[in-house]
Amino acid sequence: MLSFKKNIKRKEVEYKKLRSISKKEENFKALEKAYRVFYYMLVFLFAAVAVYVMFFSPFMAVSAVEITGLEDLDRSKVSSAAKDVYGGAYLKLIPKNNFLLFPRKAVSKKLQEEFKRIRSVEISRSFPDKVEIKITERKALLLWCSIGEECFIVDENGYAYNRVRLDSKEALENNLVKIISEEETGISEGDRIFDAEKVIFLLGAKELFREKTGLEFEGDMRIKSKIAEEVVLKSRDGWGLHVSMTLPLEKAAQTLKLFLEKEMDTQNMSKLEYIDLRVENRIYYKFKKEEEKEGEAANGEEGKDDKD
């Protein structure tokens, strides 16, 4: 009997222990659940604050946009065009002038499409609120005109980048070297008419011939064909000078100088119709109403071939 009572008490003690452990486990699980809820709330709040600070807070807004590199373009117009892009919002919600999301590619594309004079756009950011838009302008050097009145401004690399009329402000005020093309083949914006060396040739031709010979060449230069790579200059006296762009300009000018010194006097100069320097070491010339003649070569040897 005594043994039976001891067993019952032992079982009661064990049961109480089990109940105590179970309650502790329940309390621990409840505490763990509450902790998890609190943890996720903190994570959510942190993420919400981070998103707000990164994308909506004025702290991350670009407050200074600096445009550099402008030479001839109107600064206010360029600034306005750029602001049209970064002044809006993504999905009508997130400001585009956000430092992290500043639309660099879109701004660059907009400026180059709207201002043909712009060659390249580089956009850099300086934390926390500054953006620099660095613009490189094309140098307007040549004015390429077809037989009609359609013209293109040509940059230093020979690209036709802006279609203008002959009487337009751009054509009249930029001191451009005018080239008249006698080809019927049309030109489109973006076409490359010359390489950079040909552009340099055309820009320096009149001045170099003037320095070497003392003659003035004025008015437009004419090109019959880009393929032929030949240009005709007009002297102040009215006769033409045919020059090949494939031959060194310095050598052509020296050849002309020697020819004029040896074979031309004032009276003959007034009778000239043209001088032709398109063949290396050969000079061809023609007086008005006379047959074409061959002059003395630059190296002092008499030319032997007749020109076709």
Tens digits of residue pLDDT in 92-143? 888 888 888 899 999 999 999 888 889 999 999 998 889 999 999 988 789 9
| Chain centre distance of CA 175 | 21
Token code pair at residue 213: 């010979």
Report the pLDDT value the prediction gives residue 27, as an integer from 0 to 100.
Answer: 66
Q: How far is CA 207 from CA 27, 210, 254, 284, in A?
A: 98, 5, 13, 22
User: What percentage of the chain reaches a pLDDT higher than 70?
Assistant: 83
Q: Do 160 and 152 contact (CB within 8 A), yes or no?
A: yes
Per-residue pLDDT tens over the stretch 147-201: 766 789 999 999 998 888 888 887 887 788 999 988 876 788 889 999 999 999 9
If you average pLDDT over residues 194-222, what whole number do you get?
Answer: 92
Report the pLDDT value the prediction gives residue 124, as an integer from 0 to 100.
Answer: 95
Report the pLDDT value the prediction gives residue 109, as an integer from 0 to 100.
Answer: 95
Q: Do 267 and 281 contact (CB within 8 A), yes or no?
A: no
Report the pLDDT value the prediction gives residue 253, as an integer from 0 to 100.
Answer: 94
Backbone angles phi, psi at 217, to 5 degrees: -115, 130
The pTM score is 0.65
For residue 248, pLDDT over 90 is answered with yes
Report the pLDDT value the prediction gives residue 125, as an integer from 0 to 100.
Answer: 94
Token code pair at residue 8: 């019952």
Beta-carbon contacts of residue 54 (< 8 Å; ≥ 6 apart): 60, 98, 100
Report the pLDDT value the prediction gives residue 307, as an integer from 0 to 100.
Answer: 42
Report the pLDDT value the prediction gives residue 25, as an integer from 0 to 100.
Answer: 66
